[in-house]
Amino acid sequence: MIASPCIGVCQIEPSSGICLGCARTLDEIAGWRGASDEERKRIMAKLPARKARLPRPAERRRPATRRS
């Protein structure tokens, strides 16, 4: 069985729909438990390229905060 690539940083990047922690889509995250090893291998193979396209932490936009 192939372990989940989740690192506990579950935050979806809005423009791509990719998790900033593991680089999976919401559908891939939701279906991981029921996925076959072949499907998991297919997903895992895509992750390095996705991670390379994600914004670096300093480039990520933070929500605006209101000051009183």
Q: State residue 33's pLDDT score.
A: 96
Q: State residue 67's pLDDT score.
A: 60
Q: Is residue 61 part of a domain?
A: no
Q: State residue 55's pLDDT score.
A: 81
**Single-letter residue type at 48:** P
Q: Is residue 7 part of a domain?
A: no
Q: Is residue 37 part of a domain?
A: yes
Reported as a single tens digit per residue, the pLDDT across 12-64 is: 999 899 999 999 999 999 999 999 999 999 999 999 999 999 887 655 555 55
32 Cα distance to chain centroid: 12
- DSSP conformation letters of 5-51: ---S---EETTTTEETTT--BHHHHHHTTT--HHHHHHHHHHHHHHH
Q: How many domains does the chain have?
A: 1
Domain enclosing residue 20, as ranges: 12-54
Q: Is residue 39 part of a domain?
A: yes
Q: Is residue 22 part of a domain?
A: yes
Confirm if 29 and 50 have CB atoms less than 8 A apart.
no
Task: Look at the block and give the residue holding tokens 């193979």.
Answer: 45
